Amino acid sequence: MEAYIVAAVRTAGGKRGGRLAGWHPADLGAKVLDEVVRRVDADPLIVEDVIFGCVMQIGEQAMNIARSALLASGFPQSVPGTTIDRQCGSSQQALHFAAQAVMSGTMDIVIAAGVESMTRVPMFSSTSLAEKAGLGTYVSPGLARRYPGVQFSQFAGAEMMARKYDLSKNDLDAYALQSHRKAAAATQNGSFADEILPLDIAQADGTVVSHRVDEGIRFDATIEQIQSVKLLAEGGRISAASASQICDGASALLVVNERGLKTLGVTPLARIHHMSVIGHDPVIMLEAPIPATAHALQKAGLSMGSIDLFEVNEAFASVPLAWLQATGADVAKLNVHGGAIALGHPLGSSGTKLMTTLVHALHRQKKRYGLQTMCEGGGMANVTIVERL
């Protein structure tokens, strides 16, 4: 059987402490669940499982946030949910699990989704609070023996990538500027209109505004502003301006097989053409999308030239720039509406968020194949190739 995406939706990203700061993440997840079935007029009762990506599974995001989001939504309580963690690729992996379920025929209609409130549940909460509570660290004696003296860090990995691929601070800053410019243009020309679920936000003065524009975009960004931002590490090349933005957000995809298509009576947006995931060096950590892309294309029987649009998560500017250099991809096909440097990287939601943008972009541009990949903590990368239908 095949796996198809029939609906794809996301919230606009919220800055840290911004418009989505008042939303409990389970309620944010509930909103995209309700919307993704509404878009195809589907009865939520027929959804057989809901798979959420979420990275910081502590506090408001603990106790299986997929189930919490379902119980906060308009879905019947008979619909189950589960939460997974593959670090930044969590909801991309949720999509893979959903697709595998419907391709196997054990289920026909599954939702893949993701949520992260980085305002309310800050990055590294799950490790830092555990250590403060005396619950230890994830680095076991065996892990420490295999990687002696290593402090696993995405920030260190990003700098290692910049040096390995000879990317200067100017290169990184110039890329960051382009991310903002592309995101601003996409917003202004309506490219995101069909994929974003507007949310009503109550202001301090009692007025209500509609949140429908990604808050992180700097519409008036200049290279001088970007170059003036302080480096993350002394002697380094990466600053906060050339790194992904802390972000609150949620996203969801409705995934079905042929029986699901008949049940819903809808035309699919895209077909899942390929799914894979690989492990790579956990020290440089962020390089995995490069070999993962080669692996995926080889298994799919496609070339780089066969792919019309690429989404490579902008965890740091050094990641897509190194990926471009190593793969020889056409820069004009990469992150055509900007990326996480401008739009934000809501960790567990980013996988389904990027796929939502990719599928809608393929339709707007009438292109055929799209490839999505992202670096993940621990040195991994998922790759998903979709075909527009």
Q: Mean pLDDT over residues 62-85, rounded?
A: 98
The average pLDDT across 172-183 equals 98
Residue 329: partners with Cβ closer than 8 Å, 6 or more residues away = 304, 307, 310, 323
Q: Which residues pair with residue 274 across a beta bridge?
A: 385
Q: What is the pLDDT of residue 332?
A: 98
Q: What is the pTM of this model?
A: 0.97
What is the rounded CA–CA span in Å between residue 241 and residue 249? Answer: 20
Rounded CA separation 389/280 (Å): 33
Residue range 202-220: mean pLDDT, rounded: 93
Helices and strands (H and E) in the chain: how many = 13, 12
Q: Are 16 and 278 within 8 A, CB to CB? A: no
The band of 204, judged by pLDDT with boundaries at 50, 70 and 90, is: confident
Residue 285 has a pLDDT of 97
pLDDT in tens, 346-364: 999 999 999 999 999 999 9
| pLDDT for the residue numbered 347 | 98
For helices 90-104 and 350-365, what crossing angle results, to 10°? Answer: 70
Per the annotation, the verdict on 247 as an active-site residue is no
pLDDT at residue 38, rounded to an integer = 98
Domains (range + CATH), the chain: 272-388 (3.40.47.10)
Mean pLDDT value across the chain: 97
Which residues are bridge partners to 388 per DSSP?
270
Q: Using CA atoms, how far apart are residues 10 and 195, in angstroms rounded to an integer?
A: 6
In contact, 289 and 319? CB cutoff 8 Å:
yes
Q: What are the tens digits of pLDDT across the range 260-272? A: 999 999 999 999 9
DSSP 39-53: TTT--GGG--EEEEE
Locate 160 and state its tokens. Answer: 């290692």
* C-alpha triplet 263, 50, 45: angle, nearest 5°: 45
User: pLDDT of 300-327, one tens digit each?
Assistant: 999 999 999 999 999 999 999 999 999 9
Residue 353 φ/ψ, nearest 5 degrees = -65, -50
* Nearest residue to 43 via CA among 74, 2, 81: 74
Concerning whether 345 is annotated as a catalytic residue, the answer is: yes
pLDDT of residue 206: 85
Does the active-site annotation cover 211? no
Residue 192 CA, distance from chain mean position = 15
Give the per-residue pLDDT at 65. 98
As a whole number of angstroms, the distance between CA 51 and CA 332 comes to: 33
pLDDT digits (tens, 9 = 90+) for 240-254: 999 999 999 999 999
Residue 5 has pLDDT above 90, yes or no: yes
Catalytic residue among 280, 337, 345, 360: 345
Q: Say which amino acid occupies 299.
A: K
In this prediction, residue 217 carries a pLDDT of: 98
Strands 369-376 and 309-312: parallel
> Which amino acid, residue 28?
L
Asked which of 20-29, 123-132, 273-282 is least confident by mean pLDDT, the reply is 123-132
Active-site entry in 54, 88, 211, 337: 88
Res. 203: pLDDT tops 90: no
Provide the 10 A C-beta neighbour count for residue 377.
20
Q: Which helix (H) or strand (E) holds 109?
A: strand 109-117
167 confidence band (pLDDT: 50, 70, 90): very high
pLDDT at residue 202 is higher than 90:
no
The one catalytic residue in 54, 96, 280, 375 is 375
Calculate what percentage of the chain has a pLDDT beyond 90: 98
* Cα-to-chain-centroid distance, residue 201: 23
Structure tokens at 155: 């920030």
- Cβ-in-10-Å burial (0-12, 13-18, 19+) of 46 comes to middle
From CA 88, how far away is CA 259, in angstroms rounded? 31
Say yes or no to pLDDT of 205 above 90: no
Residues in the chain: 389
User: What's residue 238's pLDDT?
Assistant: 98
Local confidence band at 216 (pLDDT 50, 70, 90 cut-offs) = very high
